Structure 1
Amino acid sequence: MIGAMTLYRSTIGRKVIMAVTGLIGIGFVIFHMYGNLKVFGFMGGPSYFNEYAEALRSFGEPIFGHTHLLWVARLILLGAVVLHVWAAWSLYQDSRQARTTRYVMHTKVQANLASLYMRLGGVILLIFIIFHLMHFTWGIPGIHPNFIPGDVYHNLVVGFQSYFYLPAIFYLVAMVALGFHLYHGTWSLFQTLGFNNKTYTRLLRALSWVVAVVVTIGFAIVPIAVMLGIVS
């Protein structure tokens, strides 16, 4: 209990919380990206994509009920997002309070661009997550024009094609933000966990870029394919 409170209050502890929850997030987006690629024929196509989505909902049956393990995963992800946002905001507030008057006068000159990108990207991603759930998970009328429960392929294609492709465009903007967030987040993760030896700096930076670029392209090609009529 005392250890948990120390982790909660200390700067290092909150950075560790950000790193661990960020790692959960990285694992999720890679898995999610791989699943999205199943819309393409070379990965299975429409029927296989729907079967994959149903397999996620029925995973663990008959030991567990329908969607039970899926909800466990969702709750873990929700907890990770809440802790990640809280830790980021808390550390940001601490850094603001620690600044001297002279530093504040020259904030624009001395501000860390990576930190600014992380905060801005984080806000965009938070808005996107809420929209994404309303659009593709809950199928709220007005957000998704023709949501059919269980037909994930149909919902994806129609969802991106609707409203003059505005959802697809917003998705692409969010994926660019995700790419920057992943790069800086992965690099910060290595540093927080102690993998910041100068010998491996180039390798770890390159790995951070690879993760960011692969995930961004992997997500982005789906709405682009819908917009071009490749997936329809």
Structure 2
Amino acid sequence: MGAKITMAVSGLIMVAYLIVHMLGNLKAFAGAADLDKYAEGLRSFGEPILPHEGLLWIVRVVLLASVIAHIASAVVLTRRAKAARPVKYAHRPPVKGEGSYAARTMRWGGVIIFLFVVWHLLDLTLRVVNPVDEVPDVYNAVVQGFAPERWWVTIFYVLAVIFVSLHVRHGIWSAVQTIAGPGNAWRRRTQIIAWVTAVVLLVGFLVVPLSVTFGLVS
């Protein structure tokens, strides 16, 4: 049960981060000044009590710990499931809820999301593969990063966000089931919350890069 709780809590922490990150991204529609000011505000938040970028490093450490805990819990739960079924079924009977696309792709989706996060950090955080290398110039980094000639980056982003949304939908449902229990009163509410959150994240994360690629934001 400890591994399930760890996976649920770490997953919800990451979902909360995604929501805040998505809201920050939407400032691109307010223009370069607003987005760059927001990014600078994150770097200077809490000064002089916190060092420069102190908040960002706190968030990074919490996220890294959550990711490690999430992956470790997934490995533990996978091994437990295999140990509980040492002999493979000749014909495995379907299990309710297991046939959903999100449930079947959770593991591979996690791998794709991990690869995307690595690329995203290299592109928009460290600027190793982004045409704009000045860290404060966030707006232009987004505009140049998703420019029409870099359409393949946008496609990769779209695919990754789709997997993130599927992962979030299934993950929220599983997390609440683990923490609150499988009661029928929570089941329907959880499904609605999971779907709404997944759709909001899908639209919220895709609207900026697609708008840049199609020339609506420049």
TM-score by length of 1: 0.87
- Which residue is equivalent to 1:124? 112
CA contact (8 A) 2:25 2:205 kept: yes
The reply on whether 1:22 has 2:11 as its aligned counterpart is: yes
- Which residue is equivalent to 2:56? 70
* Structure 2 counterparts to residues 1-232 of structure 1, below 5 A: 12-40=1-29, 44-103=30-89, 105-106=90-91, 110=94, 112-113=98-99, 114-140=102-128, 143-161=129-147, 163-232=149-218
Q: Give the aligned residue type for 1:222.
A: V
CA contact (8 A) 2:177 2:187 kept: no
Structure 2 unaligned blocks of 5 or more: none
Partner of 2:130, secondary structure, is: coil
Q: Give the aligned residue type for 1:106.
A: H
Higher deviation after alignment, 205-214 or 93-102 = 93-102
Task: Return the offset for 1:88.
Answer: 0.8
Q: Give the aligned residue type for 1:167.
A: V
Q: How many residues align?
A: 214
Task: Return the offset for 1:155.
Answer: 0.5
Higher-RCO chain (CA-CA 8 Å, sequence separation at least 6)? 2
Task: Return the offset for 1:194.
Answer: 1.9
- Distance (whole Å) between structure 2 residues aligned to residue 84 and residue 146 of structure 1: 33
Structure 1 unaligned blocks of 5 or more: 1-11
- Distance (whole Å) between structure 1 residues aligned to residue 148 and residue 53 of structure 2: 28
Deviation string, structure 1 residues 171-230 (Cα, Å, up to 9, x no partner): 110110011001000000110012432133222211110010001110011111011101
CA contact (8 A) 1:183 1:209 kept: yes
- Distance (whole Å) between structure 1 residues aligned to residue 199 and residue 49 of structure 2: 39
Deviation string, structure 1 residues 160-179 (Cα, Å, up to 9, x no partner): 11653111111110110011
- Distance (whole Å) between structure 2 residues aligned to residue 75 and residue 57 of structure 1: 15
Deviation string, structure 1 residues 101-140 (Cα, Å, up to 9, x no partner): 242x335x64734432211211111111111101110011
Q: Give the aligned residue type for 2:58.
A: V
- Percent of aligned pairs sharing the same letter: 40
TM-score by length of 2: 0.92
Runs of 4+ in 1 over 6 A off after TM superposition: none
